Amino acid sequence: MTATINLTVHVKPGSRKGPLVVADQGVENSLTVFLQQRAVEGAANDALVALLATHFGVAKRDVVVVRGHTSRIKRVRVDRS
């Protein structure tokens, strides 16, 4: 059985803190993700997928940016087996 997690992710590209995943206090299924990569030619989205895959212990193919490809606020789906 596969469990699916739908998340709202606030991405902070070009951050010196990154890579870092922080749960938003008081907001369910919401994360803030700090990335060193800049939002140029999809580098930040690629880094986001890789970081979330590592964070949740799944393959990169199981992490999908559903909405907000060019926005800092994204909807992301994580499929866990």
Q: How far apart are CA 44 and CA 69, in angstroms?
A: 10
The whole model's pTM is what?
0.92
51/81: higher pLDDT: 51
Q: Quick one: pLDDT at residue 32?
A: 96
Could you tell me the domains of the chain? 3-80 (3.30.1200.10)
